[in-house]
A and B are shown apart, each in its own frame.
Chain A
Amino acid sequence: MTEVIIVQEGQLVRSVEVQRDQRTDMVLLVMPGVSCDIRLDLRLSGEGAEANVYGAYVCGGEEKVKISVDMHHDVPHCNSRQLFKGIAGGASKVDFYGKIIVAKDAQRTEAYQENHNILLSDGAKVDTKPQLEIYADDVKCSHGATIGRLNEEEQFYMRSRGISLEDAKVLQMISFIAPVLENIEDETEREAVASKFEDAIRNIVKNTLC
């Protein structure tokens, strides 16, 4: 069962050890107005263990969001996947740090990590440090990180079909974080979260005239 965590203001420290053939799934959600310092430490310590961590953050004011993930692959045959997507507007500051550590004998590991960010304003700042530390050779590991802006061609496409610029932006941002929200299993919960994010995003678009 996927655990959904609505992150509160302040520090969140989590250590999880995943045993043989066990699986852990986590979705972290950071709403606007929340400054937080998330520290996750996941350890895959039995063969066949699997960990999936997803996160979405939306900042429009003066939030400081810090996320740090250490993913330890200690034994062979484990899989992990991380997907973090976020939007930074206003004067917010986002810091992402994620490390995949594959131990010497942890062969046949598959570990993936992605961190994608959208910068909405000049006052906002995003730093990202994805890291790979790999000591085994029979592995498939990758990470990807991007920091970019909303695609103007997409906006033009929508506007030429009668969708206002404001709505177009909202749609773009919702679809940007959707791949994270999709991992919430319970449908009612997923829809509730999605509509909360939609309201928040609409607010940011309105207030910042971005």
Chain B
Amino acid sequence: MSKDKEILDSIADKEYEHGFVTEVEQEFIPKGLNEDIIRLISAKKQEPEWMLEFRLEAFRRWQKMTLPTWAHLDIPEIDFQDIIYYAAPKKAEDRPKEIDPELEKTFDKLGIPLHERKALAGVAVDAVFDSVSVTTTFRSALAEKGIIFCSFSEAVREHPDLIRKYLASVVPVGDNFYAALNSAVFSDGSFVYIPKGVRCPMELSSYFRINAAGTGQFERTLIVADEGSYVSYMEGCTAPMRDENQLHAAVVEIIVEKDAEVKYSTVQNWYPGDAEGKGGIFNFVTKRGICKGAGSHLSWTQVETGSAITWKYPSTILKGDNSSSEFYSVAVTNNMQQADTGTKMIHIGKNTRSRIVSKGISAGRSQNSYRGLVKMLPGADNARNFSQCDSLLIGDKCGAHTFPYIENANKTAVVEHEATTSKISEDQLFYCNQRGIGPEEAVGLIVNGYAREVLSKLPMEFAVEAQKLLQVSLEGSVG
């Protein structure tokens, strides 16, 4: 019961709790985007020539591309010249070793265990603040096992061979508009390499925060799990409350070699804008993994509660025979939020299996869409997919949509898709009310039950946070 009380209390203090701004001295580059800006970003990060070439090539391709318009989203026009593409806390010299006390406070407020004193939490963290990775913890403990976990820019300097081998191997430079933009201007992110046969002893985690006004955040994450290895990776994000829209366009690439397993979890809580839809983050993200080797496994779990607009489709290419992938998602939209999210499962190898469980919850005047592709290529003998997409509507001004695309070109492959849309029934609410549970709490209870299948897949550290988030996001939507 005490946990319920705590949850109730957290509902009471309402609104977006991560909306504070940290006063740190920031270093900006001028607004706008052109080749000089890209050269400047590259120079600031002291990158080798090949990295700059990679960026310029991406930029040239991006210039020729047009904005994707197929999503069920109403996106206001974005002026890409009105964005600052690089902002970093000053004091560059001592950055990785010592964190600015103000920054530390920020991460404390967010409840991120940056210091070894929280060793018990067993989570290694890479924190990305605006454009740079501020600190990475537990480096030495991980290094003993041969695991590389560092900021992306560091990886470019210290492990260029690995980066060159894997970068853009899953999400090509010209994959889509936002991926190309990210490839041109990405500032930092995380790099993870798990060597052959190593089981990563702790959860790895990245925390992203947009702090500065007028900036965009473009981080890049690359995870490589070599043969027979295992890693669980978590990602979280927050941003201050601002009246303007800020752009977040990340790229995540995951490579899973033979018999390796990667578990990737996200709790996305970017600022969603106020009740009238003013401000908020535009979250346009490309996430894709490849099950490259036989018997490999990739699992995506996401809890999406934030962002004014979400455009995100974590996907898996099942190339290795007997490989498998899962996608578990809860997407909550309230007020004026819009989400178009889902997954793609591309079956290439034999006996590949995938499972999709998506739970959408729309409230207020929001629009929530599931969009997914399941594709069985001719060689995908005995491949199997099961998809379940449920939508829950709270209130009569919101919308819930389901757009699955199912393609099968193999006679032995089996695909099943099932979707339902409904609202919380009066009976369920009545039952709770009758037993002294108030309407708001009852909705929380029912929603948590509805999303349980997904929440139970989250690592412990995230599960509690996610449950609370669901409550906070939906508060005010009943009655």
Q: Interface residues, chain A, CB within 8 Å of chain B?
A: 104-105, 107, 117, 119-122, 124-149, 210
Would you list which residues of chain B between 382 and 421 have a CB under 8 Å from chain A?
Answer: 391, 393-421
Does residue B63 face the partner (Cβ distance < 8 Å to A)? no
The one of B399, B401, B405, B423 in contact with A129, judged by C-beta atoms closer than 8 angstroms, is B405
Provide the residues of chain A in CB contact with B413, threshold 8 Å. 119, 147
- Whether A121 pairs with B411 at a CB distance below 8 angstroms is yes
Q: Which of B345-404 contact A (CB under 8 A)?
A: 376, 378, 391, 393-404
Whole-angstrom distance between the alpha carbons of A188 and B72 in the complex?
47
Q: Which of A107, A143, A148 meets B402, CB within 8 Å?
A: A143
A144 and B393 contacting across the interface, CB-CB below 8 Å: no
Q: How far is the CB of A75 from chain B (nearest CB, A)?
A: 14
Q: B419-453: which have CB < 8 Å to A?
A: 419-423
Asked if B415 contacts A148 (CB within 8 A), the reply is yes
Cα-based distance from A137 to B402 in the complex (angstroms): 15
Which residues of chain B (129-179) have a CB below 8 Å from chain A? none
Closest A residue, CB atoms, query B387: A145
Q: Which residue of A lies closest to B426 (CB)?
A: A138
**Inter-chain contact B418/A138, CB cutoff 8 Å:** no
A132 and B408 contact, CB distance less than 8 A: no
* Apart from the given pairs A129-B405, A137-B395, 15 other A-B contacts in the complex at a CB distance below 8 Å: A107-B396, A119-B408, A119-B411, A122-B409, A124-B411, A125-B407, A131-B404, A132-B400, A135-B398, A138-B423, A142-B420, A145-B416, A145-B417, A146-B415, A147-B413
For A118, the closest partner residue in chain B by CB is B411
- Complex partner residue of B410 from A117, A119, A142, A144, CB under 8 angstroms: A119
B401 near A134: Cβ-Cβ < 8 Å = yes
Among B72, B403, B408, max chain A CB count under 10 A is at B408
Nearest B residue to A112 via CB reads B420
When C-beta atoms are compared, the residue in chain A nearest to B382 turns out to be: A149
Is A129 a contact partner of B393 (Cβ separation < 8 A)? no
With known contacts A146-B417, A147-B413, A148-B414, A130–B404 Cβ distance under 8 A: yes
Q: Report chain B residues within 8 Å CB of A119.
A: 408, 410-411, 413
- Inter-chain contacts of A133 with B (CB < 8 A): 72, 399, 401
- A194 CB to closest chain B CB (Å) equals 25
B419 close to A142 (CB less than 8 A): yes
Q: Interface 1/0s, chain B 324-349, versus A by CB < 8 A?
A: 00000000000000000000000000
**Cβ-closest chain B residue relative to A97:** B405
CB closest chain-A residue, reference B411: A119
Docked-complex contact A130 and B393, CB < 8 angstroms: no
Query: Cβ of B418 and Cβ of A129 under 8 Å apart?
Result: no
Residue from A122, A144, A147, A210 in contact with B378 in the complex, judged by beta carbons closer than 8 Å? A122
Q: Within 8 Å CB of A137, what residues of B?
A: 393-396, 398, 423
A149 to B380, CA, bound (A): 14
Q: Which residue of A lies closest to B378 (CB)?
A: A122
Give A122 to B383 CA distance when docked, in angstroms. Answer: 13
**Could you write out 6 A-B pairs with CB less than 8 Å apart?**
A105-B396, A128-B406, A131-B402, A136-B396, A141-B422, A148-B415
Contact among B72, B410, B421 for A141, CB-based, below 8 A: B421
List chain A residues, Cβ under 8 A from B402: 130-132, 143
Q: How far is the CA of A127 from the CA of B415 in the complex (A)?
A: 11
Q: What separation, in Å, do the CA atoms of A134 and B394 have in the docked complex?
A: 12
Which one of B395, B396, B406, B412 contacts A127 once the chains associate, using CB atoms below 8 Å? B406
Of all chain B residues, which has the CB nearest A131? Answer: B403
Q: With a CB–CB cut-off of 8 A, which chain B residues contact A132?
A: 391, 400-403, 419, 421
Interfacial chain B residues near A130, Cβ < 8 Å? 402, 404, 417, 419
Chain A residues with Cβ below 8 Å from B418 are: 142-145
- Quick check: A146 and B414 within 8 Å, CB to CB? yes
Are B406 and A120 touching (Cβ within 8 A)? no
- Residues of A near B412 (CB, < 8 A) are 149
In the complex, the answer to whether B408 meets A126 with C-beta atoms within 8 Å is yes
In whole Å, how far is B388's beta carbon from the nearest beta carbon of chain A? 10
| Contact status B403-A146, CB under 8 Å | no
Q: In the complex, A188 Cα to B89 Cα: how many Å?
A: 81
